[in-house]
A and B are shown apart, each in its own frame.
Chain A
Amino acid sequence: MTNFRNAISLGVKKHQGNFILDCQLDISDGITAIFGPSGSGKTTLLDCIAGFLSPDHGCISKFGRIVFSSERSINVPPNKRGVGYVVQNSALFPHLTVKQNINYGFSLTSEKKRKYSLETVMEILDITYLSERDTRSLSGGERQRVALARSLAAFPDILLLDEPLASLDAPFRGLIIQKLKVIFRELGIPMVYVSHSLSEVIALAHQVVVMSEGNVIANGNVSLLLRDSNVKRVADFSSFENLLQGSICPDSIDGQKSIAIGDIKLILPVERSAIETAETVSAIVSIRASDIIVSKIEPIGLSARNVIAARVKEVHSTDNSVLVECDIGEPIYVEITSKSQSELGIYPGTEVFLIIKASSIMVLSN
């Protein structure tokens, strides 16, 4: 994380009934995930950063400028903080069209401060075709893209995202993850991304902040997340899915299309292969960690289409299962039982073969 600057620095205390938020935290200008179970204070923290809640004590600064200080009685109102906020249900204005929604913050920004055009934002998020639509006729994925565009068009210095994928179906989730990566790459806007999904965090974030009961219990890069014993207490590995970015190749092998991820190629399920693509398309695929089989010797005579050689990088054990981190050019996680791990003798450095059925690969982007 050496190439990231500090976007937000805060030290705050806030009582809400029986709940106490008590955080000391530096957030980088990359993509930061705030991870933790529900009720851990993630949204309260975002509300404090955005200015919708005032901490009882403390100080919040954004790129070195103080936006809240209880000591110096500074409390910049939300509309002057330059902090964008996208919530789970999108909160689009129902009396305005898509274009009017996106133009809302844009029209409030003086021309000098507009860093890019409305059209650029709409193109990045692929919503130009929705422009004149009524917001109530949009699908979940479309709503969330419009909400993102609306926030970006107000030129925030930092974008807060409160579980933006939680209410979306699987294909839309992949699409939004891709869009968030594009936004960061093209516009360079730092993001703080609240999630209780370990998979999303690993797929997106540069920095991970883990919260539990109102406190920050871990803060660092993504691999730290899996190593930290505090994190294992709050993370649920059982539903872990690998979200891998790759590109779908136009030509098919034996009638089935494949996706290139890092150095390897995975064969996709038959139903995906019917779709004709003339060029390489980038996509995100989801593979559940529990759907991958590990073998120490190269298997033969298998019906499964994908057998990949990999090296074990780390072994993260929890109470009842083990998450094995393998390297295939990108990290891929496999969930096995502790018994299999000890019987097979899987440790860091072990050479293994991963067996993945084509049908357990789900392509998330459209």
Chain B
Amino acid sequence: MLEVTYITLKVAILATLINFPFALYIGWILGRRNPRGRLILEVVISLPLALPPVVTGYVLLIALGSRSPIGTFTQAVFGSDIIFTWVAASLAAAVVSFPLMVRSIIVAMSTVDPRLERSARSLGAGPMKTFFSITLPLSYQGVIAGTLLGFVRALSEFGATIIVAGNIPGVTQTLPLAIFARVQTGRTSDAFELVAISVLLAVISLGIHNWLLSRSGSRGGI
């Protein structure tokens, strides 16, 4: 049981870490700028939210498989595929949770008054300095809340994970996969313990998420 929880957290944390820089960047592009091709970008980043996770998993399986360029690369560097490893489970969780994370970050960043960023620019700050000294400090609660939401989604990922990482006890078996395996084999009381852990993790993360969002409402304006 401890091992399953450990694998779950490990997978979800790596997924969140992979997503964070991209989500911050895309969130800034869509929340603060008005790029050309905005609609296409929005559809692409939201796609995993609309697709069945099994489909996302299947696409990942092809993209990461030994015959794909990424597969060839990992074969050459690490001597093996990443398919059916916990890293593959993380990638699956990352892709599926990315839309939730980035959408919250877009909302958080779009609440920052653009006049503040313009003031920073006219005071001599470049775009990076403006982002880290004005935009991010004024939206960080929303950014953290979005990150937590992505983390919660990564904790509960099932469909894509089982396709690219399988359900290998001690290696890729996360909480949802373990519950699935136990219910399938009729070990319902074992499953119940895992359900309790799942609920606990979700409640803690969502509690922090909601607390942060309620606080961010009082900031960010002029």
Contacts and interface: CB of A to CB of B under 8 A. Distances in A.
A77 B118 CA distance: 11
Contact of B123 (A87, A95, A151): A151
B197 interface: no
A78 to B, nearest CB: 4
Give the interface size bracket for A toward B: 20 to 34
A93 B134 contact: yes
Interface string A159-179: 000000000000000000000
A185 B106 CA distance: 46
Contacts of B138: 94-95
Given A52-B118, A78-B118, A108-B129, A91 B222 contact: yes
Chain A binding surface, main DSSP class: loop
A109 interface: yes
Contact of A150 (B115, B123, B137, B219): B123
Contacts, number: 68
Interface of B: 113, 115-116, 118-126, 129, 133-134, 137-138, 219-222
Given A79-B126, A154-B124, A91 B220 contact: no
Nearest to A88: B115
Contacts of B219: 94-95
19 contacts: A52-B121, A78-B122, A79-B121, A79-B122, A85-B119, A87-B115, A90-B222, A91-B113, A92-B222, A93-B119, A93-B120, A93-B134, A94-B221, A95-B137, A95-B138, A104-B123, A104-B133, A151-B123, A154-B122
A108 B126 CA distance: 10
A108 B118 contact: no
B124 A91 contact: no
Contacts of B120: 93, 104
Given A91-B115, A94-B219, A104 B125 contact: yes
B125 A108 contact: yes
Interface string A92-127: 111100000000110011000000000000000000
Contacts of B123: 79, 84, 104-105, 108, 150-151, 154
B122 A84 contact: yes
Contacts of A85: 118-119, 122
Interface in A56-91: 77-81, 83-85, 87, 89-91
B125 A89 contact: no
Interface centre among B121, B122, B125 (most CB of A within 10 A): B122
A289 interface: no
Contact of A83 (B122, B129, B133, B221): B122
A50 interface: yes
Interface centre among B119, B121, B133 (most CB of A within 10 A): B119
Contacts of A104: 120, 123, 125, 133
